[in-house]
Structure 1
Amino acid sequence: MDSSTVVILDFGAQYTQLIARRIREFNVFSVVLPCTAPLDAITALNPIGIVLSGGPSSVYDADAPKADAAVLDLGLPVLGICYGMQFMAHHLGGKVVPSDKREYGDAVVEVVQTNKLFAGLPVELQVWMSHGDSVVDLPTGFNIAAKTHNALASIANEATRMYAVQWHPEVAHSKQGTALLKNFVLNICGAQANWTPAHFIETTVDAIRKQVGTGHAICALSGGVDSAVAAVLVAKAIGDRLTCIFVNNGVLRKNEFAQVQANMREKLGLKVVAVDASKRFLQQLGGITDPETKRKIIGREFITVFDDEAARILKEQEKHGELQQDAKGNEIAWLVQGTLYPDVIESSSVKGPSQTIKSHHNVGGLPENMKLKLIEPLRDLFKDEVRRVGRDLGMPDDVLDRQPFPGPGLAVRIVGEITPERVEILQNADDIVVFEIKKAGLYKKIWQSFAVLLPVKSVGVMGDQRTYAYTCAIRAVHSEDGMTADWVPLPYEVLKTISSRIVNEVRGINRVVYDITSKPPGTIEWE
């Protein structure tokens, strides 16, 4: 284990893995453990520091997440964040009470006593708050380090190297958050900055090679950045024993089925099998309007398709005398997916007791009786980290710079029932959005930009004729990692062109609106 490891104990915050991501940006290895991890599991990692994450609970809740308080007695530097601050204060003899006024969103914090955590930072900090409880009495040896207008914002005991903040320094909205975390990791913990994407590639490829053994794997290839990088990583580990399967699920973007095949074969040299299963997916999705049900249907159908293709590939290998078996006699035992951490944390509580936002077809939508075992080499990374790994693997920019596209495809951008007609309408509208965003030179500057088809019809007038057609919403957001996002103020001329083209060229749409909701409170996708 790397000698510079920071352990993050997850108390259930949606942003926990962001802390790990920020620390990795300093080229320092970090690992997230559930807050319930035994003390010996924590110390076995030989950590140089501990971070206590935020969480949605109160320390006084009957089911409040609890860590072994002995972690505070290890003599290591500790940083408590939000709930982590309350946990620290509560277990060290301080007092936590419900706040008279909940603090949520942007806030200004005043540093009243400087210390190593705030070294080089301004006296006033722009931060992101999200808490309902507050510390009112300090544990012995602690001082007040920062305040807001109505609550303690930071406490510290420099003698024991214990620090805590009531806000979330890991999110982009906390303007000096990265500098604060760097002070803790590099200056207070004394970490060595020696963990890089190249190190990740080396250790991941070695782990995959050992995991698969002499067996075979198939990859759920979508053509996006995530699945492409996952496929190249696995191919680096097991070579031609990886077969990539690209499925037309009936809710792909316009012309994508042909374009992805060409990109993956010609630019990445991957072995790709293309399966047109659009009819079976659309048949299963017929009449379904609930977004969670849509996701689970698509997840179930994907796995069924992969099971069918695995059996077919085995027969082909047997026919040509290429059959190889692992220790259990299974020739294709593994399914590779490009799952990222935002998918994981929004789909299920994996590291700690975090709240489920929605399931994704490649996480929360998998059936319990799935025949294939999963390999998810990117599940602890964020999109920008994946792109850096891809560049270290030598992958071309036109593959790595593609905007994110959801696993369930256009199914989560068609609000309401999915029909072949509505899919075609959205494909045509979305194609115009992508074209005009690229034409304006904005594609690489925006995290995601796309069209959404709403189950809302309105009256319009075209060529002196009354129309009654669907409404299309345009969505464009800035983000670093998909965990938080701000809507993009697209130039009026770009919006005007997009709207005009959609209304005039896409039969079935007569009204275009623009989504100006950030995340939170909204999500990036509409479903």
Structure 2
Amino acid sequence: MQEKILILDFGSQYTQLIARRVRELNVYCEIHPFNHYPAIDASVKGVILSGSPFSVRDKEAPQIDLGGIKGKLPLLGVCYGAQYLAHHFGGEVAPSASREYGRAMLSKVQAANALIRDLGDPTQVWMSHGDTIVKEPTGCEIIASTEDVRVAAFHIAGEDTWGIQFHPEVYHSTEGIKLLKHFVVDICGCRQDWTPASYIETTVRELREKLGGDKVVLGLSGGVDSSVAAVLLHKAIGKNLTCIFVDMGLLRKDEFSSVLDSYKHMGLNVIGVDAGDKFLGDLKGVTDPEQKRKIIGRDFIEVFDSEAQKLKDVKWLAQGTIYPDVIESVSVNGPSVTIKSHHNVGGLPEKMNLKIVEPLRLLFKDEVRRIGRELGLSELLLGRHPFPGPGLGIRILGEVTKEKVRILQEADAIFIQALRDSGWYDKVWQAGVMLLPVQSVGVMGDERTYESCVALRAVTSTDGMTADWVHLPYELLAKVSNDIINKVRGINRVVYDISSKPPATIEWE
């Protein structure tokens, strides 16, 4: 039985980060909504209560029955979780005199306490709350304070129950990972045996049991998730897996042939489908971004379904779904608003009457890469930037044509190669070129030109939810601009996008 820590989510933006920090300790954990979590069984070694945008004093504040947890299992309340414990177990929570947000220095009051032992005194932590605990819970001892917060951390005597009014999971809490290790390893007794090797061994065994001799089809995109999912499945069921790689005519320059070749070197059974003419034909005259996405998604389903129907006795559709997608679909606030209307395999299971298998559904993106390394995938593939499902179709603003795709592919190839050559590629989370529906006057030699403008985009991010533009060196930008203008017919102007997200999305459409 896989031991685990349960993280009960009250809607905090940091909840996924708590899980990632726990997993960095090679301890398996799961996030569940506070109002919908599984039965507590012998596999659960401890429970963490997350923060929340709510105040415990609000009428609509999340409520949870801790009867089967508190006093029976190790319990750590973080921020809202700590205030919930105080508010409902004999303490008092009130609005802070001033909102406590940002760095603070934590000083020990009970230095020997198991949760904070061997932390620096003082040590930097990150506060983020509008309320504060003004009276600690019944039977509790204060174990740490800051200059402004008397009850920064507490321990309920006689129980393995703690509350902290800061966020140990964020980078700014410099010894936060050490505090979390004290909780999940020392207090909860977790063995730290959840490693890439153990995950592969367990997952391969479970896939063999689940799939038996059934045949599986998987849509490859050339990205990290679908590639790692394919190799895991191949390890489990071998020739019973067939992969389909569709070229929509909207991939990067030479990507279809190079990716197809790399998959064959990995021993995968891959069918490559050149469907560019269909996609570009159906996109003719279409300028609305949402309509473009829907056409690309619909065409993908039709092409994939047509190829899959040629295979005999397929019973499963494999998907590269990862844990953030799973969490989002069962979030505290319900499924999130649809920002992206495309999904490479959306609608396929129903259309093809197939069951779903998702070998990566428990993993975060960084864990997928760790699994990929353990499986022997190349760093070139594992380090690839994210690429939008609709491909260059949403990096060409306005109508998509074969000539525009050619122009953008050439410009994009120059930009990406320059990032690789200069050592910047691995420092950037995502980069690409946008072809704008703008033409401007230029002079080339003795001739006047009236050609297109492209925008370069390079951002840093951890999950794509927020992003900052990258301060690329002027010399690098100058070289890229010069090379694009000199080598790509049809472009005479290059600009650099210095907008961050929010408000500016990473893609322009």
Q: TM-score range by the shorter chain?
A: 0.7 to 0.9
Q: Secondary structure at the match of 2:48?
A: strand
Matched, 1:111 2:110: no
Q: Which runs of 5+ in 2 are unaligned?
A: none
Structure 1 residue 494, shift from structure 2 partner: 1.7
Structure 1 residue 488, shift from structure 2 partner: 3.7
Q: Distance in 2 between matches of 1:164 and 1:107?
A: 18
Aligned partner of 1:32 in structure 2 is 31
Structure 1 residue 56, shift from structure 2 partner: 3.5
Q: Secondary structure at the match of 2:311?
A: helix
Q: Secondary structure at the match of 1:70?
A: coil
Matched, 1:192 2:191: yes
Aligned partner of 2:91 in structure 1 is 94
Q: Distance in 1 between matches of 2:508 and 2:151?
A: 34
Q: Distance in 1 between matches of 2:36 and 2:272?
A: 43
Aligned partner of 1:210 in structure 2 is 209
Change in Cα spacing, 1:370 to 1:90, as seen in structure 2 (3 Å) is farther
Any residues of structure 2 matched to 1:115-514 within 5 Å, and which? 115-123=113-121, 125-128=123-126, 130-144=128-142, 154-159=152-157, 160-265=159-264, 267-285=265-283, 287-290=286-289, 295=293, 297-314=295-312, 331-345=313-327, 348-353=328-333, 356=336, 358-359=339-340, 361-362=342-343, 365-366=346-347, 369-371=350-352, 372-414=354-396, 418-454=400-436, 462-463=444-445, 465=448, 467=450, 469-477=452-460, 479=462, 487-506=469-488, 507-508=490-491, 510-514=493-497
Q: Which has the larger radius of gyration?
A: 2
Structure 1 residue 449, shift from structure 2 partner: 3.1
Deviations 1:215-266 (A, max 9, x none): 211111112221111001111111111110001123211111111111101x
Aligned partner of 2:51 in structure 1 is 54
State the identity %: 49
Aligned partner of 2:6 in structure 1 is 7
Structure 1 residue 86, shift from structure 2 partner: 3.3
Structure 1 residue 198, shift from structure 2 partner: 1.3
Of 78, 81, 86 in structure 2, the residue corresponding to residue 81 of structure 1 is 78
Q: Secondary structure at the match of 1:84?
A: helix
Q: TM-score, normalised by structure 1?
A: 0.83
The CA RMSD over aligned residues, in Å, is: 3.4
Q: Secondary structure at the match of 1:313?
A: coil
Structure 1 residue 50, shift from structure 2 partner: 0.5
> Is contact 2:305-2:348 (8 Å) kept?
no
Structure 1 residue 172, shift from structure 2 partner: 3.8
AA aligned to 1:208 is L
Structure 1 residue 284, shift from structure 2 partner: 5.0
Structure 1 residue 37, shift from structure 2 partner: 3.1
Structure 1 residue 387, shift from structure 2 partner: 1.9
Q: Distance in 2 between matches of 1:298 and 1:19?
A: 36
AA aligned to 1:29 is Y
Change in Cα spacing, 1:30 to 1:269, as seen in structure 2 (3 Å) is same
Deviations 1:53-80 (A, max 9, x none): 2334444555544433324424222122
Structure 1 residue 273, shift from structure 2 partner: 0.8
Change in Cα spacing, 1:47 to 1:303, as seen in structure 2 (3 Å) is same
Structure 1 residue 437, shift from structure 2 partner: 1.1
Q: Distance in 2 between matches of 1:204 and 1:403?
A: 26
**Aligned residues between the structures:** 501
Q: Distance in 1 between matches of 2:196 and 2:250?
A: 33
Q: Distance in 2 between matches of 1:415 and 1:145?
A: 57
Structure 1 residue 490, shift from structure 2 partner: 2.6
Q: Distance in 2 between matches of 1:84 and 1:338?
A: 33
Change in Cα spacing, 1:381 to 1:483, as seen in structure 2 (3 Å) is farther
Structure 1 residue 279, shift from structure 2 partner: 3.6
Change in Cα spacing, 1:351 to 1:145, as seen in structure 2 (3 Å) is same
Change in Cα spacing, 1:368 to 1:262, as seen in structure 2 (3 Å) is closer
AA aligned to 2:23 is R
Deviations 1:399-439 (A, max 9, x none): 32333323332345445654444433332222111111111
Name whichever of 281-290 and 187-196 sits farther off: 281-290
Q: TM-score, normalised by structure 2?
A: 0.85
Q: Secondary structure at the match of 2:310?
A: helix
Q: Distance in 2 between matches of 1:164 and 1:509?
A: 60
Q: Distance in 2 between matches of 1:205 and 1:431?
A: 37
Q: Distance in 2 between matches of 1:337 and 1:157?
A: 44
Deviations 1:313-355 (A, max 9, x none): 23xxxxxxxxxxxxxxxx212222222234455xx43254367
Deviations 1:261-320 (A, max 9, x none): 11101x2111111112234434555635445x6555544433333222221223xxxxxx
Deviations 1:441-497 (A, max 9, x none): 333344333334455666655557364633403214264x65665544333322221
Q: Secondary structure at the match of 2:67?
A: helix
Change in Cα spacing, 1:443 to 1:195, as seen in structure 2 (3 Å) is same
> Is contact 2:437-2:452 (8 Å) kept?
no
> Is contact 1:109-1:146 (8 Å) kept?
no
Q: Distance in 1 between matches of 2:183 and 2:344?
A: 33
Q: Distance in 1 between matches of 2:16 and 2:230?
A: 23
